[in-house]
Structure 1
Amino acid sequence: MEKLHFLMVLFSLLNLQFPSFLLLSSASTLPSKYFINCGSVSNISLSGRKFVGDLNLGSFSVGSSSAISDVTTNSSTDTSLYQTARIFKNQSSFDFDITDFGIYYVRVHFFPFSSGRTNLADAHFDVSAFNFSLLSDFRIKDNSNSPLIKEYLLTINATKFSIHFTPRGKSFAFVSAIEVFLLPDQEFVSDELDLITPSGLSNHRYHGVRSQVLLTIHRVDVGGPQNNDSLWRNWIPDDEYLLSRESAKTCVPYEGTLNYDVNGANNYSASDLVYKTCRELNLDSSKGSSNSSKITWRFGVSSRAKHLVRLHFCDIISKNASDVFFNLYFYGNFTHMISTNKISDLLAAPLYYDLVVESDDSGYMDISVGPRQDSKNKTAYLNGVEIMEFMKESSLVDVPGNGNRSRVFVIVGTVCGVAFVFIVIVLFFLGIKYKKAKQGDDGVGSWPVFHGKDTTSRKGRANASSIRSLNLKLKMPLLEIQNATHNFDPKLLIGEGGFGKVYKGTLQNGMTVAVKRSDSKHGQGLPEFETEVLVLSKIRHRHLVSLIGYCEERSEMILVYEFMEKGTLRDHLYDQNEKSKRSSKRSKLSWKQRLEICIGSAKGLHYLHTCSHGGIIHRDVKSTNILLNKNYVAKVADFGLSRSGPNDPDNCSVGIKGSFGYMDPEYFRSLQFTEKSDVYSFGVVLLEVLCARPAIVNSTKREEMNLAEWGILWQNKGQLENIIDPLLVGDINPDSLRKFGETAEKCLKGDGANRPTMLDVIWDLEYALQLHQTAVHREPHEDTTTNAFFVELPLPDSIPDWEDNDLLIGGEVDGSDTTDSGVFSQLRIDAAR
């Protein structure tokens, strides 16, 4: 208590204040957090931002500090922010509590100066955020004239955001200031944009812009002076980028009021000066026809990288709104016609075009504008250019750890001796306070927590996913999924399983989807997630649930499927929370519907077992993993436990996989899954469909507890009709029931070798359906599989609803024997047995 009182008095003497920051209340509110003055106890106001000294936060561990009496600088900027810095000897991080998900600007400031024996220009380090490398093998020149500011644009959809600093070798890292703030305009960038290659406009669009981290490398006010905008972005003149000054003339600056929010741009898109100045084609300088002239700017870029290019336009040169439209070129190739008044008929209405542009190996990017012959005013112009590079993924650790804190050294510039003594005492007490706080909650309020780590290298995330290395086109940004589910609104929750919760969602294109979100409290996790993505990204079948997309962003693992309106098969058979009573709310499935559902499910499993990827064993066939669409078409789902064939070494494992009541007894003896294990599980599903009861129930009668044993007991008695769903009484043709019972019995054979293949099962079920739909007089003792009866019941011309020749693997038609002709020949052979 005495220490706390002393600390409060000390803060009073030093006039230290803990700032409070307001959340963004509207799109017109400027951000107020986070702005950090690193290595300092001072709060500094700069251009409308209040940078808070990180020593005020009490949220990091400090080993020691040093001070210098003076910082000599020739900077023309306000240097008050750059008189201190934070040094990192080991891998360390600043952690920020995120309360509002969305698009953020992140700026990291560096200003090297000397302090005694330490010269910040000697620093050699890496900087990363999430799993992206922000700066790699980074060194900074000893340039005291101005700070170096690296600016990034990224989407943050996690409650913690961390910036990691990792020294190289025996060197160190440092940072002067940090900005992390939410953009007031959350429609700032689209997720899907046109893709331009060095050879011209691509036929494909680029998806997933919002899941990238973008580094600003150029921000140019074309035809205007250096200036700053409302989001503290620095715009520089375009003079050094013009290839031919004679080709362009500077527009007369516009003095009127700009018409924002008409063509898509708003006050935050750029500064007013950007839209009130421009370069226009200088027709007088063209030696040839004006129609062949262009204005070209050349920008230095990274070789063979992707860039987000934003081009700003505002028609301040025309007398009439429809006078000007012109061509846009990249690397000399035409890509777009630009019509800056296509949305409204207003002049001076700012807008911008966003494009994803790939660079070649030249190290530069050419952007040109030129006139069109069909334009009334044959000219062209440009107001501004922004180029942002897509950052590459990093192997550096991206999640703050809870290990021991590293020692952090602070360089303080222009600090008098008396104040320094007070600061050291403050740091001592803050250190005590922080250590105690860390025993409980990690973080102070909504302010960033600084973490240091004792190790300088990491083996990578323990749960780093192998699917990141694959070029799968199904990856979706987290922000799109959050928008589709209204940020996982509990009102949209439609189910919960072993992997996590399932939400109903609507994508931007209007498609209704089911979104399955991983929950760490459930037993399944990364292996099941990876397997599901890898399996469903390779296969397509009418009776397998389609994977629309997946998201592995931040700490999220999310799967997006086609939406199955009628839910699971079990939902229509019984209430799984009841023991033996049926739910009065369930729908009444006719026997014909049930047979068609079983046939469809069998087709899906048969395709899995015989597909060209070596055969896939589902390993968790059950009624809750068979889903129904609005037309009651069955689709097999949940491939998290799937494995590719019996030779997969992972098929033999100590842990029991699957669901009790459905598992193959042979599996318990050998711990080896085969296709026949799926056949056994499907046999249990057949009895579920027939009897409308769970695979396992609590009962005083032992023979009733296990559905497989109970069903076979009555099948052997020849009295299977005694245990069927009462809703089916009078609805089943006896011959169809007999054939169905025989099929289930064969599936449930104790020895897998004696069980049929799924193709055999399909044939038997199709036959049961024919028997149900065909009235044939038969004797009760007659065998339904004899050739005599087969003659009485001719096969249809084609197998109804088969559609297996529409199966796609990797975009190609499957070449297995599941075509109509191949299947038909096998059916005839089977029929003769």
Structure 2
Amino acid sequence: MTMNATLQAVLAAMASFAVISLLICFFYFICRTASRNRRRDPESRPRTRAIRTVPNLDTSTSFISVAESQLFDPSLIRIEMSDLVNATRNFSTDLIIGDGGFGLVYKATLPSGVTVAVKKLGADAFQGYREFRAEMETLGKIRHENIVQFFGYCATGIDRILIYEFIEKGSLDQWLYDMSSANNETSSLRFPLSWSTRIKIIRGVAKGLAFMHNLDTPIIHRDIKASNVLLDADFEAHIADFGLARRIDGSHSHVSTQVAGTMGYMPPEYFYGAALATVTGDVYSFGTLMFEVATSRRPSWPIIVEEEEEDKEKKRTKEIRLVEWATKKVSQNQEMKIVDARMPKEDLKENEVLEFFKIATFCTTEMPKLRPTMNEVVQLLNRIQDEATS
């Protein structure tokens, strides 16, 4: 009996050990499988690693990373989302005053009583973060009378919002082409800009660019065009939209992996495979803008012209861009024939028009090294102004 009891005890112990061992193996297998699934499932990863395309950016909370916050000028105001929601009536479509490539712009009045323009960047996380960073690195750190003033920002979750001064008369593009109304608050029609006002606007843009290009760390805008020039109550120009702008090193160039800008305004070297974006690219875009302001013709729209064939009896038509068309007209001394026909003739002086087109042609020289600096352009435009007032 004693032997049988002992044997039974041993067998029971062995069975218990086997069961415990199986249970341990089972739980080990379950834990290991769960661990593998967590590694495969991106939703189970820590939030700090959830976004790979936007480093140091946490979209799950109102957190702003240390790396991102270092871009901000301490003088800039961080505005709460609740204030912006109230100021824009929850981003009402009735308050939209602009629709840029990176998001919608709303007119809003902050609790302080200041009227501002609020740009809510698009839902694309990478695009929104890239423009937000560009604005902070450039516009958020500079002040100039011909550059739109940047007031503050809001960064909450995935939302990135930029707040600027409100410029009363809207964009230059609207004043060149949209004669329907001055703004949403008045029924008065826009009038064609006078020659003196057009020169004033161009001088303002030139001064703003010259300031940017001559900073200790120069800034290239890379998207100078009529819709990115805002006009205040006195028709002073303010350069806006720095979403493509970049700070550049001492060589005055920026290595770019893709062409940036707007068709019609981009310099020809961008289409020849140039990897560098330079201040001379801004100069070319500015010269294109000069032609546009004088003629009220869009650089991105083709112009149909007639050409004589070899027998001189037949003619053919072809499409060319504004710069090529205007440059050819200048070479034929036809400047006065291509200025905006709607323009009041009272202050339109031929000598000023000729000098204006000469400067525009200089800026749009095909060889980048032959283009003037923006400082030189300002000096040339000042001569027109001086002659007009003398």
Report the TM range for the smaller structure's normalisation: 0.7 to 0.9
Conservation of the 8 A alpha-carbon contact between 1:531 and 1:642: yes
Tell me the equivalent position of 2:300: 696
Q: Distance in 2 between matches of 1:522 and 1:698?
A: 35
Conservation of the 8 A alpha-carbon contact between 1:620 and 1:658: yes
Q: Where does structure 1 differ by over 6 angstroms across 4 or more consecutive aligned residues?
A: none
Tell me the equivalent position of 2:61: none
User: In the TM superposition, what are the counterparts of 1:792-807 in structure 2 within 5 Å?
Assistant: none
Gap change, CA 1:692 and 1:537, over 3 Å in 2: same
Conservation of the 8 A alpha-carbon contact between 1:543 and 1:603: yes
Q: Distance in 1 between matches of 2:204 and 2:47?
A: 52
User: In the TM superposition, what are the counterparts of 1:80-99 in structure 2 within 5 Å?
Assistant: none
2:68 to 442, 464, 467: 467
User: In the TM superposition, what are the counterparts of 1:133-282 in structure 2 within 5 Å?
Assistant: none
- In structure 1, list runs of 5 or more residues that go unmatched: 1-169, 171-403, 407-450, 578-583, 775-833
Coordinate RMSD, CA, aligned:
3.0
Residue 645 of structure 1 deviates from its aligned partner by 2.1
Name the aligned partner's letter for residue 378 of structure 2: I
Name the aligned partner's letter for residue 641 of structure 1: L
Tell me the equivalent position of 1:381: none
Secondary structure at 2:276 match in 1: coil
Q: Distance in 2 between matches of 1:456 and 1:499?
A: 29
Tell me the equivalent position of 1:743: 359
In the alignment, structure 1 residue 563 sits paired with structure 2 residue 166: yes
Tell me the equivalent position of 2:128: 525
Conservation of the 8 A alpha-carbon contact between 1:694 and 1:707: yes
Residue 717 of structure 1 deviates from its aligned partner by 0.6
Q: Distance in 1 between matches of 2:44 and 2:85?
A: 36
* 1:386-444 alpha-carbon deviations (Å, 9 max, x no partner): xxxxxxxxxxxxxxxxxx789xxxxxxxxxxxxxxxxxxxxxxxxxxxxxxxxxxxxxx
2:326 to 690, 711, 714: 711
Gap change, CA 1:575 and 1:753, over 3 Å in 2: same
In the alignment, structure 1 residue 592 sits paired with structure 2 residue 196: yes
Tell me the equivalent position of 1:684: 288
Conservation of the 8 A alpha-carbon contact between 1:703 and 1:710: no
Gap change, CA 1:628 and 1:523, over 3 Å in 2: farther
Q: Distance in 2 between matches of 1:773 and 1:649?
A: 35
Gap change, CA 1:566 and 1:649, over 3 Å in 2: closer
Q: Distance in 2 between matches of 1:471 and 1:616?
A: 17
Tell me the equivalent position of 2:86: 483
Q: Distance in 2 between matches of 1:662 and 1:692?
A: 14
Residue 521 of structure 1 deviates from its aligned partner by 6.1
The normalised TM-score by structure 1 is 0.37
Tell me the equivalent position of 1:635: 238
Conservation of the 8 A alpha-carbon contact between 2:146 and 2:207: yes
Secondary structure at 2:365 match in 1: coil
* 1:505-557 alpha-carbon deviations (Å, 9 max, x no partner): 00111110000001226994211111112212211001100111111111101
Tell me the equivalent position of 1:605: 209
Gap change, CA 1:666 and 1:507, over 3 Å in 2: same
1:617 to 205, 220, 223: 220
Tell me the equivalent position of 2:11: none
Residue 727 of structure 1 deviates from its aligned partner by 2.0
2:149 to 546, 549, 553: 546
User: In the TM superposition, what are the counterparts of 1:422-461 in structure 2 within 5 Å?
Assistant: 453-455=43-45, 458-461=48-51
Secondary structure at 1:587 match in 2: coil
Name the aligned partner's letter for residue 762 of structure 1: V
User: In the TM superposition, what are the counterparts of 1:279-678 in structure 2 within 5 Å?
Assistant: 453-455=43-45, 458-462=48-52, 463=54, 464-465=56-57, 466-470=67-71, 472-473=73-74, 474=76, 475-520=78-123, 524-575=127-178, 585-612=189-216, 614-645=217-248, 651-669=254-272, 670-678=274-282
Gap change, CA 1:691 and 1:646, over 3 Å in 2: farther
Gap change, CA 1:537 and 1:454, over 3 Å in 2: closer
Residue 452 of structure 1 deviates from its aligned partner by 9.8
Conservation of the 8 A alpha-carbon contact between 1:488 and 1:503: yes
Conservation of the 8 A alpha-carbon contact between 1:646 and 1:672: no
Gap change, CA 1:537 and 1:457, over 3 Å in 2: closer
Tell me the equivalent position of 2:24: none
Conservation of the 8 A alpha-carbon contact between 2:72 and 2:137: no
Residue 453 of structure 1 deviates from its aligned partner by 4.4
Conservation of the 8 A alpha-carbon contact between 1:697 and 1:704: no
Gap change, CA 1:550 and 1:703, over 3 Å in 2: farther
The normalised TM-score by structure 2 is 0.76
Secondary structure at 1:651 match in 2: strand
Q: Distance in 2 between matches of 1:514 and 1:747?
A: 32
Q: Distance in 2 between matches of 1:699 and 1:529?
A: 36
* 1:27-51 alpha-carbon deviations (Å, 9 max, x no partner): xxxxxxxxxxxxxxxxxxxxxxxxx
In the alignment, structure 1 residue 759 sits paired with structure 2 residue 375: yes
Secondary structure at 1:564 match in 2: coil
Residue 575 of structure 1 deviates from its aligned partner by 3.8
In the alignment, structure 1 residue 768 sits paired with structure 2 residue 384: yes
Gap change, CA 1:459 and 1:693, over 3 Å in 2: same
More helix by share: 2
Conservation of the 8 A alpha-carbon contact between 2:303 and 2:322: no
Name the aligned partner's letter for residue 385 of structure 2: L
Aligned identity (percent) is 37
Q: Which has the larger radius of gyration?
A: 1
Q: Distance in 2 between matches of 1:649 and 1:569?
A: 28
Gap change, CA 1:703 and 1:644, over 3 Å in 2: farther
Secondary structure at 1:537 match in 2: helix
- In structure 2, list runs of 5 or more residues that go unmatched: 1-31, 58-66, 181-187, 306-316
Name the aligned partner's letter for residue 726 of structure 1: A
Secondary structure at 1:525 match in 2: helix
Conservation of the 8 A alpha-carbon contact between 2:292 and 2:299: yes
* 1:724-747 alpha-carbon deviations (Å, 9 max, x no partner): 101226341111001101100100
Conservation of the 8 A alpha-carbon contact between 2:194 and 2:344: no
Name the aligned partner's letter for residue 547 of structure 1: F
Q: How many residues align?
A: 324
Tell me the equivalent position of 2:310: none
Residue 629 of structure 1 deviates from its aligned partner by 1.2
Residue 773 of structure 1 deviates from its aligned partner by 3.8
Q: Distance in 1 between matches of 2:125 and 2:355?
A: 40
Conservation of the 8 A alpha-carbon contact between 1:679 and 1:747: yes
* 1:743-792 alpha-carbon deviations (Å, 9 max, x no partner): 00100101111111111111111212233344xxxxxxxxxxxxxxxxxx
Secondary structure at 1:662 match in 2: coil
Name the aligned partner's letter for residue 203 of structure 2: I
Q: Distance in 1 between matches of 2:138 and 2:125?
A: 21
* 1:38-90 alpha-carbon deviations (Å, 9 max, x no partner): xxxxxxxxxxxxxxxxxxxxxxxxxxxxxxxxxxxxxxxxxxxxxxxxxxxxx
Secondary structure at 1:561 match in 2: strand
Conservation of the 8 A alpha-carbon contact between 1:550 and 1:560: yes
Name the aligned partner's letter for residue 661 of structure 1: G
User: In the TM superposition, what are the counterparts of 1:100-111 in structure 2 within 5 Å?
Assistant: none
Conservation of the 8 A alpha-carbon contact between 1:597 and 1:633: yes
